[in-house]
Chain A
Amino acid sequence: MDELGDIIQEFLVESHENLDQLDRDLVALEQDPGSREMLSSIFRTIHTIKGTSGFLAFHRLETLTHAGESLLSRLRDGAQRMNPASADALLAMVDTVRTLLGSIEESGGEGDVDVEPVIAMVAACIEDPAAPKPAQASAPAPKAEPRPAEAVESAEPTAPVQAPEQPEAAEALAAEVVESVETAEAVPARAAKGQASDEPTGQNNKRSIADSSIRVDVDLLDTLMRLVGELVLTRNQIVRGVSEISDPALVRTTQRLNLITSELQESVMKTRMQPIDHIWSKLPRVVRDLSGAMGKQVKLAMEGKETELDRSLLEAVKDPLTHLVRNAVDHGIETSAERVAKGKDPQGTLTLRAAHEGGHVVVEIKDDGAGIDVDRVAQTALDRGVVTRDQLSRMDSREIIALVFRPGFSTAKKVTNVSGRGVGMDVVKTNIEQIGGAVDVDSTLGAGTTWRLTIPLTLAIIQALTVECGAERYAIPQVGVDELVFVDGQSGQTIEHVSGAPVYRLRGKLLPLVRLDETLGLPVRNSDRDVYIAVLQADGRRFGLVVDRVLNTEEIVVKPLSGRMKDVGVYAGSTIVGDGKVALILDIPSLARRAHLAAEAVERAQVDQADSRPRDSHIERLLIAGIGERRVAIPLDMVTRLEEFPVQRIERVGSREVVQYRDHILPVIRLASLLGCYDVEEGETVPAVVYTERGRSVALVVQQIVDIVEDHIESRSDLDDDGLTGSAVIQQRVTELLDVRRAILAADPRFYAEMSESMVGA
């Protein structure tokens, strides 16, 4: 909707409210003609309408209200007394104002409403010897007579709605509010389009703006929200109960209840929703002033302004968002000169993007600036004592960038008056996490940075993972859950222990674990197998929460904890689950702090190990493949890609095997035959390790990819067989180290030869 449409819309709503008040005031005034207070109030109302109509160029409305204002000012100042004639004239004026407003609402213009008779009638009441017009006064007066009563009557239903005290009434009202919100959206659209095809008198069944929008106390909406939450839970219980009874009629009714409840929930949630534009609208100015002050050129682009979220969340997101935008202009985008030197457009672009994504609102703040320098972040983190050199050595670049969220970190070279005022990214993170959201960052050096806020749609209802531990169920807010892992005892997976602290090898990296039963002081189920690990993310670290069982993901209504539970610290709230029982919601950041201790134990252990090792040893990342009963380790830098080939696609060329792969003929060597295991069973597909160097590839077919580990090879023997360089103990198992070069040559004898030729040729 265009801006003028918005203003007219507001003007209409406001004027309708005022006119209803005016009707009551005028009638009251007749009872008490001398009331100055009443007269002043009426005068002010008319004056306001006059002012706005002048501004909006509704000239007839302006002239009319001007006439009314003249009479009112005389009455107010005591220049003349109120009498029935002037009351009639004023009421007639109010009615005509209402007709004009109706016309504006219908067609966007004043239409052909004739205001002259009423103006004359009002003017006739002014006992001003300079302009007596007694002749005209009598004619329109009778016409206007029936109107006052009508106006008063019609004023009743549109009178401001009192917040009902009965909660039962609140539900009934909900539907009304929701409906009126929708109508309110529809009406201005019509007004803006200026469709004059409808009857200009407003005598149609479309509701006028005053009827279609009301002001509602936010507390009432909160109550509604709570009641709907209860309804959702009750619905869930009924749905569960009915699924056990096979009564078709009941099932149908339940389905209907299910639908209606969902719709009601959505509608009530909508009443609290506001577009994110409410907080974005201030940002262009922020960006403009800031970039001006810093000698930068920044273009601000916004996508998804209309994305809505709960108003309380909107409020909570405002400051972090402003901070990120300031930060992007201050530290992200380079000065024009720097950008030109790098061959970029001198004008930087800052893009704000908001969208709904799986029950959350995702807000991105993206700049095409310098990007985050991983080395500088690492150095700063070291200097500030945020991490130790040792911790740093085990981090990948993404983890290092995430250090900017740690308390005590700020990459600003100098403290500017812009974003380096001691308020760091850690505050942004804390604020967002407080409302159950998450923030992460992605950056490419030289190309820009993207900050991503994931915000729940509403505080009251969240997506949660329900898990079981001991005899109780617990809910974990879904936003903190990265993935779920089942520790399958049958396939030999188990939780390991590093100096007493439980860890799990997740794709080759040690994941510190927190046992929920242990943390909560429940009887510990002494098992390292056949348990579930929820991989969680909070406070800038990843850790696994060990639970007995994962039940499902569902929407839950968050209930605040009483004071006596808050002190415990591990719970973020409680909720009522499908069967009506209460489940506690776990507080992930608080669990993360416990995980922190576990993680430190792991780190200490790794440091100890490192110290006890010879100086020249280095960490090797190895891919462990299974071939029959044997395990073979392949250095990860000899693995370009892991593929799965259907057995029947492996073709023969002479004595060799090949497979068509990405429009090339890829030589294949089966490690089983190379290593002399012939009793290997094959499935329909076989996993293969593809190694590519300078455009030449080979595939090493294995039986099974077991794991990727990061390991110091502790005991190595030179018990080598053909095709192996030795063996070592990895994950408590003797693992053979593949002589990759030999294996490659077995697949493609010319692999290295042609390569050197081509290098010579190049």
Chain B
Amino acid sequence: MPSRQYATFEVADQLFGVDVAQVQEVLRFHEYTRVPLAPTSVGGLFNLRGQVIDAVDLRVQLGLPPRDLSVPAMNVIVSVDDEWVSLLVDRIGEVIELDDEAFEPPPDTLAGAYRHLIVGTFKLEDRLMLALDARRAADTTVPVPAQHADEARMARSA
């Protein structure tokens, strides 16, 4: 049966996953250079072994308030269009292998920013994992649709 590996992580208590093939590395980092005037979803820049990496605040991308970057944050570095981008997340989960059959399109009730970034859902034993479109998640040029915390909760319960 065809299956796929997902690197999982949590943002605002919701489990997300991206295709493991897209993930370059995962690391904790704390010294970000802020980019004034850039969209709020750009958390900052940092130096990864001589390469300047953009860190995209997934919280903002999901319509939540921005992360406090004065404390170390987890970076999931993904490769999008031959460019490395870091997605700032709360917690790193395991790499899980999922059958393609367990895949379902995003539910209609999924609203706002979530809907825009999610390609599908996987039902795990005890929770739901949302498969993230890494390219859209890293795209800060699209304005994030306004979303309230309760909508986010709705999305989680969906």
Contacts and interface: CB of A to CB of B under 8 A. Distances in A.
Contacts of A562: 54, 83, 85
B52 A559 contact: yes
A568 B35 contact: yes
Interface string A574-594: 101000111110000000000
Interface in B16-67: 31, 33-39, 42, 45-47, 50-52, 54, 56
Nearest to A473: B33
Contacts of B51: 559
Contacts of B36: 472, 520-522, 570
Given A574-B45, A580-B47, A521 B37 contact: yes
Contacts of B34: 471-472
Interface residues of B, number: 22
A581 B83 CA distance: 20
A351 interface: no
B50 A233 contact: yes
Nearest to A517: B36
Contact of A574 (B50, B52, B139): B52
A576 B52 contact: yes
B38 A564 contact: yes
B7 to A, nearest CB: 22
A520 B36 CA distance: 5
A234 B50 contact: yes
Interface in A545-565: 559, 562-565
B37 A582 contact: no
A582 B45 contact: yes
A576 B47 contact: yes
A574 B47 CA distance: 10
A564 B33 contact: no
A564 B140 contact: yes
Contacts of B139: 564
**Which of B36, B39, B46 has the most chain A CB within a 10 Å cutoff?**
B36
A589 to B, nearest CB: 16
B83 A565 contact: no
A567 interface: yes
Contact of A564 (B39, B46, B47, B50): B39
Contacts of B140: 564
A570 B33 contact: no
A565 B38 contact: yes
A568 B33 contact: no
Contact of A567 (B46, B54, B56, B141): B141
Nearest to A227: B50
B54 A565 contact: yes
A96 to B, nearest CB: 52
Nearest to B49: A230
A564 B37 contact: no
A574 B141 CA distance: 19
A565 B85 CA distance: 12
A124 B155 CA distance: 91
Contacts of B50: 229-230, 233-234, 576
A190 to B, nearest CB: 41
A565 B141 CA distance: 10
Contact of B46 (A229, A230, A559, A582): A582
Contact of B33 (A229, A520, A582): A582
Contacts of B52: 559, 574, 576, 582
A562 B79 CA distance: 13
A568 B47 contact: no
Contacts of B35: 565, 568, 571, 584
A565 B140 CA distance: 9
Contacts of A472: 33-34, 36
A643 to B, nearest CB: 47
Interface string A226-270: 000110011000000000000000000000000000000000000
Interface in A417-473: 471-472
Contacts of A576: 47, 50, 52
Nearest to A231: B50
Nearest to B138: A564
Nearest to B42: A564
Nearest to A230: B50
Contacts of B39: 564
Interface in B99-115: none
Interface of B: 31, 33-39, 42, 45-47, 50-52, 54, 56, 83, 85, 139-141
Interface of A: 229-230, 233-234, 471-472, 520-522, 559, 562-565, 567-571, 574, 576, 580-584
15 contacts: A520-B37, A522-B36, A562-B85, A564-B38, A564-B39, A564-B42, A564-B56, A565-B38, A565-B42, A568-B35, A568-B38, A570-B36, A570-B37, A580-B47, A584-B45
